[in-house]
Amino acid sequence: MASSSSSSVSSNYDIPWVEKYRPNKVSDIVGNEDAVSRLKVIARDGNMPNLILSGPPGTGKTTSILALAHELLGANYREAVLELNASDDRGIDVVRNKIKMFAQKKVTLPPGCHKVIILDEADRFFFDFFGGNMVKCRYNISMTSGAQQALRRTMEIYSNTTRFALACNTSSKIIEPIQSRCAIVRFSRLSDQEILGRLMVVVETEKVPYIPEGLEAVIFTADGDMRQALNNLQATYSGFRFVNQENVFKVCDQPHPLHVKNMVKHVLEGNFDDACSGLKQLYDLGYSPTDIITTLFRIIKNYDMAEYLKLEFMKETGFAHMRICDGVGSYLQLCGLLAKLSVARETAKAV
């Protein structure tokens, strides 16, 4: 990502923008204002309850919890925060001991402060806990309860010195006894405006040349995921030095939504041949069926069409997506999908 040939660079050029522009203060976090406002109060008053932060990726869960920890603990951050995420070794013993040892560690803190244990990607955590892949733990699943018990006891016993923050994608994957001990903070996808606002800040400070359509494309590819948006922006910039639609889609290697949109339009107008040739073109460009169908689904979701058609289109796309995920990722499936969409359209059409 970091090419050294550029001239307009600051010294820390090769830091990913995701890291460079990661907010350090809770108040700088974009979106989810309800959650963030509460976290702000915690940052001010201390006494953080045990938290589960759940929401889709790239919505600021990790960022806010890190920022919160920084604000709470300030200079003590190094010794009073234990961060475990998916990249750490999560063998059961390592984790259990790490957490427990940390909880027992004596740290001198100002009153009202607590040590913080951050478990990132906690829903994976209970699976990865066993150092094995998920399939393996299907058979070994009673291990889960070990992890659970260790954690839930630890939470209780050390609650006056140590607090937990768990970040995960779906809170229901966290076992009930732990859910019961935590307040759940829900994060939802960022709106396009919120992402745009942040992108503008970055674009301005980095002096990235852009056209508005380019940013729009970045936002489209990101789909409410700030991390992705920043990564794509940076990738486009370092690849092409200019952010316009074409470059963005080239870099992100996604089928051009306009192209896909045209396909849908052709289907709706009854030009099956045109739709098919559009598909062929996309396929020949080398996009995998998974890429195409994912984009197609998102286009259909936002396309303005009659309710019945939308429903049917979504259903068929869903089935096609399922088949493709199951390994039948052939061109034929995509053509078949277009045909089915056309049939749905014909059925619905008034004679």
Partner 1 sequence: MGKRDAVVVLSSDEEEEDWKPNKNSRSKLSSSVPQANPEVAKKKKKARFSSSVPRSRSSRVDQFEHLGDEFDEALRAFNGSIGYVKNQRKELWVDKYKPQSLEELAVHKKKVEEVKMWFEQRLRTPKEEFDSYVLVISGPAGVGKSATVHMIASHLGAGLCEWKTPIPTLWQEHVHNSSSGIRYTSKLDEFENFVERTRKYISLSGESKSSIILLIDDLPVSNGKFAYGRLQNCLRVLVQSTRTPTAILVTEYGNTETADRTARSIEELVLSLESAGACKVLFNPVTLNSIKRTLSRICRLEQCNVTAGEIDLIAKASGGDIRHAITSLQYYTLKPETSFSSPSSNGALACFEEKTVDLNSLDVEASLPFGRDETLSLFHALGKFLHNKRDTENAVTSDHDRFHLREKFRRLPLKMEAPEKVLSQAHGQARPVVDFLHENVLDFIRDENIDDAWTVASYLSEADFLLASSRGTITRSYEAESVLQSTAVSVAVRGVLFGNSNPLSSRWHAIRRPKIWQVEQSSVCNKFEMMKQRFTAYDGLSSSNLSHVAMEHRHVLKWLGSRPYGNGVLTQGNDTEGNKVDGMTSEGQQCEASEDEIEDW
* Separation CA 102–CA 99 (nearest Å): 5
Tell how strand 115-119 and strand 162-168 pair up.
Answer: parallel
Residue 4 Cβ, how far from partner 1 at the closest point, in Å?
32
Tell me the window of 14-22, 146-154, 213-221, 250-258 that interacts with partner 1 (CB under 8 A).
146-154
Residue choice 165, 182, 208, 279 for contact with partner 1 (CB under 8 A)? 182
Residue 112 Cβ, how far from partner 1 at the closest point, in Å?
4
**Whose CA is closest to 73, among 118, 30, 32?**
118
Residue choice 3, 6, 24, 193 for contact with partner 1 (CB under 8 A)? 193
Q: Segment 251-290, which members bind partner 1 (CB under 8 A)?
A: 268-269, 290
Whose Cβ is closer to partner 1: residue 208's or residue 292's? 292
Q: Is 42 in the site for partner 1 (CB under 8 A)?
A: yes
φ, ψ for residue 144 (rounded to 5)?
Answer: -50, -45
Please give the structure tokens belonging to residue 29: 């976090």
* Separation CA 94–CA 76 (nearest Å): 24
Over the window 53 to 72, marking each residue x when it contacts partner 1 by CB under 8 A and - when it does not, the resulting string is: -x-xx---------------
Our CA angle for 259, 265, 271, nearest 5°, is 105
Which residues lie closer than 8 Å to 51 by C-beta, 6 or more apart? Answer: 65, 163, 164, 165, 166, 182, 183, 184, 185
Q: How many residues does the chain have?
A: 351
Residue 260 Cβ, how far from partner 1 at the closest point, in Å?
14
Residue choice 200, 211, 311, 343 for contact with partner 1 (CB under 8 A)? 311
DSSP character at residue 49: P
Tell me the window of 11-19, 90-98, 252-260, 334-342 that interacts with partner 1 (CB under 8 A).
90-98
Residue 29 Cβ, how far from partner 1 at the closest point, in Å?
10
